[in-house]
Amino acid sequence: IGMIPAYAMTTADGLIVTEGATADNYNLKVEWPADGKPTLTMKDATINNNNYGSGLVKHSIRISGTADFVIQVKGTNVINGSLTGDTGSADYVRPNGIYATNTGTLTIQGDSTKDSLWINNNNGHCIRKEYNAFTVEKAFLKISTNNTSANPQYGILLVYVSTGRESMSNLTIRN
């Protein structure tokens, strides 16, 4: 059984709201077709995620579970993230642009290189993918991180997490 699509809009301030979002008018769509992979479609979306203070970890996009997951980009999409205050000492304490702990493959894809995702993140990784593979297909991906803490932050961090089985994280880029 598939999931009925859910729609949302992004405001001029980069906040996510469901009011006014429809199948014809949306910036974000989440769906899980019965015969396909769970998918987040970003259509000319801008997400501003500013975390102020300590103890509040809010990743702009958080993906978990066992399935492969697709982020479909259409047009120009932007994720801006920033953390001020106590940044903590562990990676999981800092907000990430995309934080994926799904054991399947994470794919960011577009229909052409005109479809783009720009991730700007201060004091957090732009993309942190644990387990298995991360793939970019037919999309322009721009990442920028500005680290003002003592701990290193990366544009893309692929993490091998031991689960008692042989697997490695890998990165694939296809045009």
pLDDT at 116: 92
pLDDT at 1: 45
From first to last of its 175 residues, the chain has per-residue pLDDT tens of: 456 789 999 999 888 899 999 999 999 999 988 778 899 999 999 998 866 555 555 788 888 888 899 999 999 999 887 765 554 555 445 678 888 888 888 999 999 878 999 988 877 778 888 877 888 999 988 888 776 666 667 778 777 665 555 455 677 777 6
- DSSP sequence for 85-138: S---SSGGGS--SEEE--SS-EEEE-SSTTSEEEEEEESS-SEEEESSEEEEES
Cα–Cα nearest to 159, from 99, 118, 97: 99
Q: Are 112 and 84 in contact, with CB atoms under 8 Å apart?
A: no
Phi and psi for 149 in degrees, rounded to 5? -100, 175
pLDDT at 152: 66
Cα–Cα nearest to 118, from 143, 150, 152: 143
Model's pTM, two decimal places? 0.83
